[in-house]
Protein backbone atom coordinates (compact mmCIF):
# COMPACT_ATOMS: atom_id res chain seq x y z
CA UNK A 1 0.00 0.00 0.00
CA UNK A 2 1.08 3.58 -0.59
CA UNK A 3 0.00 4.70 2.89
CA UNK A 4 3.09 5.68 4.83
CA UNK A 5 3.90 4.13 8.18
CA UNK A 6 6.73 3.86 10.70
CA UNK A 7 8.42 0.49 11.09
CA UNK A 8 11.04 -0.50 13.67
CA UNK A 9 14.46 -1.57 12.46
CA UNK A 10 15.16 -4.71 14.44
CA UNK A 11 18.38 -6.01 12.90
CA UNK A 12 20.98 -3.93 14.74
CA UNK A 13 24.31 -5.23 15.99
CA UNK A 14 27.67 -3.93 17.14
CA UNK A 15 26.41 -1.07 19.34
CA UNK A 16 29.52 -0.67 21.50
CA UNK A 17 31.89 2.16 22.28
CA UNK A 18 34.70 2.22 19.74
CA UNK A 19 32.77 0.00 17.34
CA UNK A 20 30.61 0.26 14.25
CA UNK A 21 26.91 -0.43 14.65
CA UNK A 22 25.34 -2.12 11.62
CA UNK A 23 21.66 -1.84 10.79
CA UNK A 24 20.27 -4.23 8.16
CA UNK A 25 17.13 -2.84 6.55
CA UNK A 26 14.36 -4.68 4.68
CA UNK A 27 14.34 -4.23 0.90
CA UNK A 28 10.62 -4.71 0.22
CA UNK A 29 9.51 -1.13 0.99
CA UNK A 30 10.26 2.43 -0.18
CA UNK A 31 12.05 4.73 2.29
CA UNK A 32 11.15 8.38 2.90
CA UNK A 33 13.33 8.76 5.96
CA UNK A 34 14.94 7.07 8.93
CA UNK A 35 15.17 8.18 12.55
CA UNK A 36 18.14 6.86 14.50
CA UNK A 37 17.32 6.88 18.21
CA UNK A 38 20.49 7.36 20.25
CA UNK A 39 21.09 7.34 23.97
CA UNK A 40 24.17 7.40 26.17
CA UNK A 41 25.14 7.39 29.83
CA UNK A 42 27.49 10.30 29.21
CA UNK A 43 26.60 13.21 31.51
CA UNK A 44 23.53 14.98 30.18
CA UNK A 45 22.43 12.05 28.03
CA UNK A 46 21.85 12.32 24.28
CA UNK A 47 22.31 16.08 24.01
CA UNK A 48 23.28 17.44 20.63
CA UNK A 49 26.88 17.88 21.81
CA UNK A 50 27.06 14.28 23.03
CA UNK A 51 25.46 12.82 19.90
CA UNK A 52 27.86 14.78 17.71
CA UNK A 53 30.84 13.61 19.77
CA UNK A 54 29.78 9.96 19.88
CA UNK A 55 28.14 9.26 16.48
CA UNK A 56 31.27 10.19 14.56
CA UNK A 57 30.21 8.93 11.13
CA UNK A 58 27.03 7.59 9.55
CA UNK A 59 27.06 5.73 6.22
CA UNK A 60 24.11 4.66 4.09
CA UNK A 61 25.06 1.75 1.83
CA UNK A 62 23.27 0.09 -1.07
CA UNK A 63 24.76 -3.18 -2.26
CA UNK A 64 27.72 -2.46 0.07
CA UNK A 65 28.49 0.80 -1.75
CA UNK A 66 28.34 3.99 0.32
CA UNK A 67 25.75 6.48 -0.98
CA UNK A 68 25.95 8.90 1.94
CA UNK A 69 28.68 9.63 4.47
CA UNK A 70 28.58 12.31 7.15
CA UNK A 71 29.09 12.83 10.86
CA UNK A 72 26.11 13.40 13.14
CA UNK A 73 27.12 17.08 13.34
CA UNK A 74 27.17 17.44 9.54
CA UNK A 75 23.87 15.58 9.26
CA UNK A 76 22.25 17.92 11.78
CA UNK A 77 23.51 21.01 9.97
CA UNK A 78 22.46 19.86 6.49
CA UNK A 79 19.03 19.00 7.90
CA UNK A 80 18.88 22.43 9.53
CA UNK A 81 19.33 24.10 6.14
CA UNK A 82 16.05 22.34 5.23
CA UNK A 83 14.39 23.57 8.45
CA UNK A 84 14.58 20.19 10.21
CA UNK A 85 16.12 20.51 13.67
CA UNK A 86 17.46 17.57 15.70
CA UNK A 87 15.43 16.20 18.59
CA UNK A 88 17.84 16.00 21.49
CA UNK A 89 17.81 14.00 24.69
CA UNK A 90 18.31 15.15 28.25
CA UNK A 91 19.35 12.13 30.29
CA UNK A 92 15.77 10.87 30.53
CA UNK A 93 14.55 10.86 26.95
CA UNK A 94 16.77 9.79 24.03
CA UNK A 95 17.91 11.88 21.08
CA UNK A 96 17.22 11.32 17.39
CA UNK A 97 19.31 11.67 14.24
CA UNK A 98 17.04 12.08 11.19
CA UNK A 99 18.15 10.74 7.81
CA UNK A 100 15.98 12.41 5.16
CA UNK A 101 15.42 10.67 1.82
CA UNK A 102 12.29 12.53 0.66
CA UNK A 103 13.41 16.16 0.44
CA UNK A 104 11.33 18.35 2.83
CA UNK A 105 12.36 21.70 1.29
CA UNK A 106 10.71 20.95 -2.06
CA UNK A 107 7.42 22.68 -2.76
CA UNK A 108 5.04 19.79 -3.41
CA UNK A 109 4.67 16.30 -2.00
CA UNK A 110 5.23 14.76 -5.43
CA UNK A 111 8.54 16.61 -5.73
CA UNK A 112 9.53 15.66 -2.19
CA UNK A 113 8.84 11.98 -2.76
CA UNK A 114 10.68 11.91 -6.09
CA UNK A 115 13.91 11.27 -4.17
CA UNK A 116 12.55 8.53 -1.88
CA UNK A 117 14.71 5.43 -1.86
CA UNK A 118 12.86 2.68 -3.70
CA UNK A 119 14.20 -0.81 -3.22
CA UNK A 120 13.15 -2.64 -6.38
CA UNK A 121 16.18 -4.63 -7.53
CA UNK A 122 18.11 -3.90 -4.30
CA UNK A 123 19.26 -6.89 -2.26
CA UNK A 124 21.31 -5.18 0.46
CA UNK A 125 20.61 -1.93 2.35
CA UNK A 126 22.71 -1.15 5.41
CA UNK A 127 23.36 1.80 7.67
CA UNK A 128 26.64 1.93 9.59
CA UNK A 129 27.22 4.15 12.61
CA UNK A 130 30.73 4.62 13.96
CA UNK A 131 30.61 5.13 17.73
CA UNK A 132 33.42 6.93 19.53
CA UNK A 133 35.60 5.00 21.98
CA UNK A 134 34.66 7.45 24.73
CA UNK A 135 30.91 6.83 24.46
CA UNK A 136 29.38 5.63 27.73
CA UNK A 137 26.98 2.68 27.35
CA UNK A 138 25.67 3.75 23.91
CA UNK A 139 22.23 2.60 22.82
CA UNK A 140 20.91 2.68 19.27
CA UNK A 141 17.50 1.96 17.78
CA UNK A 142 16.05 2.77 14.38
CA UNK A 143 12.69 3.57 12.83
CA UNK A 144 11.92 3.99 9.12
CA UNK A 145 9.16 5.97 7.44
CA UNK A 146 8.08 3.78 4.52
CA UNK A 147 5.40 2.83 2.05
CA UNK A 148 4.96 -0.16 -0.26
CA UNK A 149 5.53 1.57 -3.59
CA UNK A 150 7.72 -0.72 -5.65
CA UNK A 151 10.22 1.26 -7.70
CA UNK A 152 13.94 1.26 -8.33
CA UNK A 153 16.16 3.88 -6.62
CA UNK A 154 16.49 6.10 -9.68
CA UNK A 155 16.84 9.69 -8.46
CA UNK A 156 18.14 9.42 -4.92
CA UNK A 157 20.11 12.18 -3.20
CA UNK A 158 23.64 11.02 -2.43
CA UNK A 159 26.10 12.87 -0.20
CA UNK A 160 29.70 13.05 -1.41
CA UNK A 161 32.18 14.31 1.19
CA UNK A 162 35.76 15.43 0.68
CA UNK A 163 38.27 17.86 2.17
CA UNK A 164 39.31 20.98 0.28
CA UNK A 165 42.92 21.70 1.15
CA UNK A 166 43.41 25.42 1.68
CA UNK A 167 47.01 26.56 1.86
CA UNK A 168 46.55 30.32 1.95
CA UNK A 169 44.13 33.16 2.40
CA UNK A 170 42.59 34.76 -0.67
CA UNK A 171 41.22 32.97 -3.72
CA UNK A 172 41.68 29.25 -4.34
CA UNK A 173 39.78 27.43 -7.15
CA UNK A 174 38.53 23.87 -6.76
CA UNK A 175 37.31 21.72 -9.63
CA UNK A 176 34.17 19.71 -8.83
CA UNK A 177 33.33 16.47 -10.60
CA UNK A 178 31.05 16.60 -13.65
CA UNK A 179 31.37 12.91 -14.55
CA UNK A 180 28.84 10.17 -13.90
CA UNK A 181 25.72 12.01 -15.03
CA UNK A 182 24.59 13.09 -11.55
CA UNK A 183 23.03 16.51 -10.91
CA UNK A 184 23.97 18.89 -8.09
CA UNK A 185 21.18 19.62 -5.60
CA UNK A 186 23.38 21.66 -3.29
CA UNK A 187 26.85 22.34 -1.95
CA UNK A 188 27.68 22.52 1.77
CA UNK A 189 31.03 24.11 2.62
CA UNK A 190 31.75 23.35 6.29
CA UNK A 191 34.15 25.88 7.82
CA UNK A 192 36.46 24.99 10.69
CA UNK A 193 35.57 28.39 12.16
CA UNK A 194 32.53 30.37 11.07
CA UNK A 195 33.74 33.18 8.85
CA UNK A 196 36.67 31.28 7.30
CA UNK A 197 35.08 31.81 3.86
CA UNK A 198 34.60 35.37 2.65
CA UNK A 199 32.86 34.54 -0.62
CA UNK A 200 32.37 31.80 -3.22
CA UNK A 201 32.30 32.05 -7.00
CA UNK A 202 30.65 29.02 -8.66
CA UNK A 203 31.04 28.67 -12.43
CA UNK A 204 29.27 26.06 -14.61
CA UNK A 205 31.02 25.94 -17.97
CA UNK A 206 31.79 29.63 -17.59
CA UNK A 207 28.31 30.62 -16.41
CA UNK A 208 28.41 32.30 -13.00
CA UNK A 209 25.93 30.37 -10.81
CA UNK A 210 26.91 32.08 -7.56
CA UNK A 211 29.09 35.11 -6.85
CA UNK A 212 28.18 36.19 -3.33
CA UNK A 213 29.87 36.98 -0.06
CA UNK A 214 28.95 34.78 2.88
CA UNK A 215 26.56 37.47 4.16
CA UNK A 216 24.98 38.01 0.74
CA UNK A 217 24.58 34.26 0.31
CA UNK A 218 22.85 34.06 3.70
CA UNK A 219 20.48 36.85 2.69
CA UNK A 220 19.60 35.12 -0.58
CA UNK A 221 18.97 31.83 1.20
CA UNK A 222 16.59 33.62 3.56
CA UNK A 223 14.90 35.19 0.54
CA UNK A 224 14.27 31.76 -1.02
CA UNK A 225 12.22 30.75 2.07
CA UNK A 226 12.74 27.01 1.43
CA UNK A 227 16.05 26.97 3.31
CA UNK A 228 17.59 28.27 6.52
CA UNK A 229 21.03 29.74 7.17
CA UNK A 230 23.28 27.64 9.43
CA UNK A 231 26.42 29.14 10.95
CA UNK A 232 29.62 27.42 9.82
CA UNK A 233 27.91 25.77 6.82
CA UNK A 234 28.10 27.96 3.73
CA UNK A 235 25.27 26.42 1.70
CA UNK A 236 24.76 26.98 -2.02
CA UNK A 237 21.35 25.52 -2.96
CA UNK A 238 21.10 24.51 -6.62
CA UNK A 239 17.62 22.99 -6.60
CA UNK A 240 15.54 26.16 -6.23
CA UNK A 241 13.33 25.63 -9.26
CA UNK A 242 9.70 24.51 -9.33
CA UNK A 243 9.44 21.82 -10.53
CA UNK A 244 12.62 20.66 -8.81
CA UNK A 245 15.55 20.78 -11.22
CA UNK A 246 19.04 20.27 -9.82
CA UNK A 247 22.10 21.63 -11.64
CA UNK A 248 22.89 19.15 -14.38
CA UNK A 249 26.24 17.81 -15.55
CA UNK A 250 24.76 17.04 -18.98
CA UNK A 251 23.44 19.93 -21.07
CA UNK A 252 21.55 20.04 -24.35
CA UNK A 253 22.85 22.13 -27.25
CA UNK A 254 21.09 22.02 -30.64
CA UNK A 255 19.31 18.83 -29.65
CA UNK A 256 22.52 17.07 -28.60
CA UNK A 257 23.35 15.98 -25.07
CA UNK A 258 26.83 17.23 -24.19
CA UNK A 259 28.72 16.68 -20.91
CA UNK A 260 29.47 19.78 -18.85
CA UNK A 261 33.21 20.39 -19.07
CA UNK A 262 33.85 22.10 -15.77
CA UNK A 263 32.27 23.14 -12.51
CA UNK A 264 34.62 25.34 -10.51
CA UNK A 265 34.16 26.71 -6.99
CA UNK A 266 36.59 29.52 -6.19
CA UNK A 267 36.75 30.13 -2.45
CA UNK A 268 37.93 33.52 -1.20
CA UNK A 269 39.33 32.56 2.18
CA UNK A 270 39.70 34.80 5.22
CA UNK A 271 41.72 32.06 6.94
CA UNK A 272 43.90 29.26 5.60
CA UNK A 273 41.85 26.51 7.26
CA UNK A 274 40.77 23.47 5.28
CA UNK A 275 37.10 23.20 4.32
CA UNK A 276 34.95 20.05 4.29
CA UNK A 277 32.64 19.93 1.28
CA UNK A 278 29.53 17.76 1.10
CA UNK A 279 27.92 17.66 -2.33
CA UNK A 280 24.27 16.65 -2.58
CA UNK A 281 24.05 14.69 -5.83
CA UNK A 282 20.85 13.47 -7.49
CA UNK A 283 21.15 10.34 -9.60
CA UNK A 284 21.32 6.58 -9.73
CA UNK A 285 23.03 4.74 -6.87
CA UNK A 286 26.80 4.46 -7.19
Read off φ and ψ for residue 77, nearest 5 degrees: -70, -35
- Residue pair 283/181 in contact by the 8 Å Cβ criterion: yes
- Residue pair 101/115 in contact by the 8 Å Cβ criterion: yes
pLDDT in tens, 151-196: 999 999 999 999 999 999 999 999 999 998 999 999 999 999 999 9
pTM passes above 0.85: yes
pLDDT in tens, 67-118: 999 999 999 999 999 999 999 999 999 999 999 999 999 988 999 999 999 9
Amino acid sequence: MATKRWIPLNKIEGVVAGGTAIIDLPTNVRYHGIALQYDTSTAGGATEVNMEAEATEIRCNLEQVTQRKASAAQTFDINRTKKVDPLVGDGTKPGFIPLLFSEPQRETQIEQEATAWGMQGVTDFQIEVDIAAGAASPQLKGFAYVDDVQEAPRGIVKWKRNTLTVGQTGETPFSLSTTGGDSYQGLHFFEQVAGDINSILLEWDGVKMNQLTEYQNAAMIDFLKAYKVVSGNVHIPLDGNHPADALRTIKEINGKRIPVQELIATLNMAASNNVTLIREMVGLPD
